Structure 1
Amino acid sequence: MNTLARNTDRNELNSIKNSIPGTIRDTCNSTQFIIDQAYGKGEITQIEIAKGIQVYSFNLTANRAMAINLDFIPSHTLQFIFGIKGTFLYNYSGNTEPVMQQVDTLQTAVSYSSNSALTELKITAQTQVQLSIITIDLHTNTSAFKSEYTLANNSELKSIVSEIEGKDYYFYKGSMDLIIAEKFKSIEAIYMDSNNITHSLSSKGAYFIILAKEIQKFSKEINQIQTPGSLLKEDMKNIIAVTDCIKKNPEKDYLIVKVSRETGLSPAKLQEGIKSLYDVTFSHFVRDCRLDKAEDLIKTTDLTISEIVYTIGLTSRSYFCKVFKNKYKTSPTNYRNKTKLTQLNYS
């Protein structure tokens, strides 16, 4: 039976004790380092999803400043870093001058070191940080990754490898990405399930998808097919607030000129931010949020299709049916009938 491979070398995470005190705990599919309460609360979790591919998840609340030595991550590994929540510093001290990079919430980054130089995560006191590091060991056959998630001739991964070739150290800070953040949220939802086998299989697939998205993203940025953009951190915070508002209240009238005036963000910045976060235009994002709400109303209420159309802020039933069918590959009425039949079968 295929489940997540459990790391059996407890000494890897044990080395964290050289930085901060804590205890090691093995679960059915992972190894965890639980930090000592004097330093804060939380854990660092290691999962091997395939030979040569590891996931390190950090969920920490620091009572005091922490500097976590990452010597448990071998050299010659590509590290795909994603800041899920909070801000932290990534510090490298090798043959060159020390390099310190700040990684913010929703920020992506790639790191590589060909030697055993000191690399650390630094977290300030009284902060909560969640981040993930997915590593690919370049000295290990990564055919498992290629078979699980096939990329076009694996050219994206090759372009990143060529970028770091011959370098002792490499760090690239990419743009913010809400799509990847949503994938990490889906993993949290998986772990609310009580079935451990389901956890293993579902989270393994989700991690492969995240890794593939990060590889594709960095390949595009490195090759200047996609650039990190001109948005400031404050702009991104405002854009995320706008998208949260649209998700909660999709029925409102969201003309981009009006939203621009209310937020102080230019229409160009709104478009750039939503494209960066969701890979769609502003109007497409609003439409998708309305369709998401319509789907929920179809599943959970007895409102007629016409009533749902007006509830989500549209006026044309024919337009709604057209875009709904484009997204869900069936009409709203058929979707409701299939949902009711499924509910009856499970009742």
Structure 2
Amino acid sequence: MITIEIIADSQKDLLEQIQDKIGGSIVNSWNESTLTIDNENGVGKLRFIPFDWGVHLLDFDLTLHKEFIFKIQAVPEFNPIRFLYPSIGSFKHRFGVDNNERNVEQFQSLIFTNKIGGYDYLHFKKGERINLNLIEIIRKHFLQKRTTNVSSLNKKLYEVFVDTDHENRFANFGTLNLKMADQIKKLHKIKGKGMLRILKIEAMVYEILSSHIQQHNTLLAGVALPTSLVKSELKIVRKFSAIILKNPEKDYSLEELSLQSGLTQSKLQDGFKFLYNRTVTEYIRHVRLESARDLIRTTDLNISQIVYTIGFSSRSYFSKIFREKYDITPNQFKKKLLTVVLEK
């Protein structure tokens, strides 16, 4: 087991200190720093992007060939609230004053911060790939943002955000959250260059941060996982939602999805309601409408062609539900886009 002690006054220093211990090379491009490792210690990448108002993103995608512990000290200059989520793999966390490690499993979130001078231990297994999304909030900077309204947070998180003198420890271990995994997948797919790419990433980071806060609210409210499904069954539900997302035009039925997934129809319904706040039918309709809007925006297909491309059989029904969802008809939406293009 190798312990890396990190005393950093910024997350960028953290990358450099990790590089000092386990090697690799750092490349900087448009405010995005990437540490690439491929040696006897491990293989993979760590990416760091700082945004305005004290918000930082740190992505791990690593397979470590040795067991590592990152020992991170909370210093006055840099002691953020950290929001962590492993979409692949798992890790353990403990405060320096506590000998008991707590496991953070795949798809489980962790929010923590420490007192000044305290240590946090992040324990990573040997040979296991870890894809870890880490968002940091530097409180003094973040609270200066004009649109920040921490008074709307629940009492516990509000106390954590306004503790700018870092006098208290806080840790919250979330439950299974597959929605965040989908958000992080979208984050990793963002393409482009320069400022536009960074702006897209920043928007997605705030969306993930919002999911962390929503989950904390849900936990405080005592909302539990659906008792009808276990974790492995929720993963199956997520798998089939991804199939629908990729192929919205197919003629799906609850009975067919139940047979293919091996889950009962009631379990499928419970899973979709829990993960997406929609029944199976509502989810399919939502995905088709989103696909239709994208096709109107990005192709020259007419409305009738789009209706059949996404799996609807009735243009009038499609127009009706499109207007209900977006408060505009498909034809009006198409004309509005054309007007914008002509004005440019």
Q: Is 2:205 aligned against 1:207?
A: yes
Mark the runs of 5 or more structure 2 residues left unpaired by the alignment: 1-8
Find the residue that maps to 1:80 and give its secondary structure.
Answer: strand
Aligned residue-pair number: 328
Q: Is 2:86 aligned against 1:83?
A: yes
Q: Is 2:223 aligned against 1:222?
A: no
Find the residue that maps to 2:72 and give its secondary structure.
Answer: coil
Tell me, yes or no, if the aligned pair for 1:149 and 1:208 is still in contact at 8 Å: no
Aligned AA (1:81): L
Alignment partners' CA distance in 2, 1:163 and 1:53: 16
Deviation of 1:219 (Å): 1.9
Alignment partners' CA distance in 2, 1:101 and 1:254: 38
Deviation of 1:45 (Å): 2.4
Find the residue that maps to 1:96 and give its secondary structure.
Answer: coil
Alignment root-mean-square deviation, CA: 3.5
Q: Give the match for residue 177 of structure 2.
A: 176
User: TM-score if structure 2 supplies the norm length?
Assistant: 0.78
Aligned AA (1:48): P
Find the residue that maps to 2:39 and give its secondary structure.
Answer: coil
What pairs with 1:117-266 in structure 2 (closer than 5 Å)? Answer: 117-125=119-127, 127-138=128-139, 140=140, 142-144=142-144, 147-148=146-147, 150=149, 153-156=151-154, 158-160=155-157, 168=169, 170-178=171-179, 180-190=180-190, 192-194=191-193, 196-224=194-222, 226-230=223-227, 231-266=229-264
1:325 to 323, 326, 341: 323
What pairs with 1:16-165 in structure 2 (closer than 5 Å)? Answer: 16-17=18-19, 20-62=22-64, 64-71=65-72, 77-84=80-87, 86-92=88-94, 94-104=96-106, 106-114=107-115, 116-125=118-127, 127-138=128-139, 140=140, 142-144=142-144, 147-148=146-147, 150=149, 153-156=151-154, 158-160=155-157
Higher mean alpha-carbon deviation, 161-170 vs 68-77, is at: 161-170
After superposition, the C-alpha distances for 1:260-300 in whole angstroms (9 at most, x for unaligned) are: 34323233432332233323332221101221333344456
Alignment partners' CA distance in 1, 2:55 and 2:195: 20
CA 1:188–1:300: 2 relative to 1, 3 Å: same
What pairs with 1:250-329 in structure 2 (closer than 5 Å)? Answer: 250-299=248-297, 304-329=302-327
Aligned AA (2:192): D
Mark the runs of 5 or more structure 1 residues left unpaired by the alignment: 1-6
Q: Identity of paired residues, percent?
A: 26
Tell me, yes or no, if the aligned pair for 1:44 and 1:56 is still in contact at 8 Å: yes
Alignment partners' CA distance in 2, 1:30 and 1:124: 27
Q: Give the match for residue 4 of structure 1.
A: none
After superposition, the C-alpha distances for 1:108-129 in whole angstroms (9 at most, x for unaligned) are: 332333362341240431x433
CA 1:109–1:257: 2 relative to 1, 3 Å: farther
Find the residue that maps to 1:71 and give its secondary structure.
Answer: strand
Aligned AA (2:86): G
CA 1:46–1:299: 2 relative to 1, 3 Å: closer
Find the residue that maps to 2:278 and give its secondary structure.
Answer: coil
User: TM-score if structure 1 supplies the norm length?
Assistant: 0.78
